[in-house]
Structure 1
Amino acid sequence: MTDSNGSAEPEVEVIHSAEDITARIEALAQEVTARKLERPLVVAILKGSFVFAADLIRALYRAGLKPEVDFLTLSSYRKSRTSSGKVEILRDLDLGVEGRNVILIDDVLDSGRTLVFAKDLIAARGANAILTCVLIDKKVPRAVDVTADFSAFECDDEFVVGYGMDAAHRYRELPFVGRVTKE
């Protein structure tokens, strides 16, 4: 298959289908809601978690939780497939977190640097409690000591795309999680 420029389109193998993701998100929402958090604030780490966060926030609502929502844009990858090891704030929160119960949502937990950076930032600003929820928990050695409180799926050490996650700004639109098999 070729794209509009005559180049061969990359192939992406489905790892987690849209249907599997939907079912898992509904279950995650029940798990999070069971914690009975008062004044919850969902903080989605952008850009990769935006699709997951949107679907999870709606599932939380259906499960009876009505969180406020804010966004934090962090980057350790830029256009690379490997982390630079340095996390940068590209867009900070608008809402205050002091005294709040925060549900921090990220797309992938691998090295752990981004999640720890975000947790430390929010803790330093006075959050009451911080729970972490990730779409993909990679079973890899972490650069820092962190474990997600909630995760939708586990995967081996492979680069995944789709469902909001990208490779150099491509594949975010895919309704599933997959791996690029041919570029």
Structure 2
Amino acid sequence: MITVRDRQIEPLFTESQIADEIRRLAGEIAAHHPVEKSGEILVVAVLKGSFVFAADLIRALHAVKLAPEVEFISLSSYGGGTEGGEVRVLRDVETDVAGRVVVMVDDILESGRTLQFARDLLLSRGATAVELAVLLDKSVKRKVGIEPDYVGFECPDHFVVGYGMDVGHAFRELPFVGRVVE
């Protein structure tokens, strides 16, 4: 365990484990998409939590000779409480997705409501496919019938921080994924 901001953090996935998984994920994505058509791929990172994972993944995609374009979307699904409610687009993609394969990148897939909304939105705009790449899959929390196409780790049923994920805007800077020990 380490102490950050007077809180004990137990690492669950180390920096080197994450790096290994990202290289593996880039290889999986490359295996599904011919290099000569990689310019047709649009990576859409879901902000804010995925920004570290997305940055590392797009560099890993470059290393396997893919050259996708990159976009961002910011969504909110927490109206007044902590249980997911209506999903709202806070920042939309600026690129036309019609006729494109979208690889949507997110830090964690839990209930699935937000990513289902985003997938449906991009498909309704003419994307030929919307694939999901997530660092963490917390399948025990799934509320809708959506599954990721590319998964780094199955996540235990803990609230996790680090590697872009936060609690109260803190701990995003950690180079690993961990849980705050109470």
Q: TM-score, normalised by structure 1?
A: 0.91
Partner of residue 67, structure 1: 68
Report the count of equivalent residues: 177
Counterpart residue type for residue 119 of structure 2: K
Partner of residue 48, structure 2: 47
Partner of residue 18, structure 1: 15
Map 1:108-147; keep pairs closer than 5 Å. Answer: 108-147=108-147
Aligned partners of 1:79 and 1:163: how far apart in 2? 26
**What's the secondary structure of 2:33's corresponding residue?**
coil
Aligned partners of 1:73 and 1:139: how far apart in 2? 22
Cα pair 1:79 1:169 within 8 Å, conserved: no
User: % of aligned pairs identical?
Assistant: 52
Unpaired segments ≥5 residues, structure 1: none
Equivalent residue in structure 2 for 1:28, among 25, 30, 33? 25
More helix per residue: 2
Partner of residue 150, structure 1: 150
Instruction: Give the direction of change, closer, same or farther, for the CA distance of 1:181–1:42 in structure 2 (3 Å limit).
Output: same
Cα deviations across residues 42-95 of structure 1 (Å, max 9, x unaligned)?
000000000000000000000110000000001224897x34322221100011
Instruction: Give the direction of change, closer, same or farther, for the CA distance of 1:107–1:94 in structure 2 (3 Å limit).
Output: same
Aligned partners of 1:115 and 1:154: how far apart in 2? 17
**What's the secondary structure of 1:95's corresponding residue?**
coil
Unpaired segments ≥5 residues, structure 2: none
Counterpart residue type for residue 71 of structure 1: F
Cα pair 1:102 1:131 within 8 Å, conserved: yes
**Displacement after TM superposition at 1:139 (Å):** 2.7
Q: TM-score, normalised by structure 2?
A: 0.91
**Displacement after TM superposition at 1:156 (Å):** 2.0
Cα pair 2:79 2:85 within 8 Å, conserved: no
Instruction: Give the direction of change, closer, same or farther, for the CA distance of 1:76–1:70 in structure 2 (3 Å limit).
Output: same
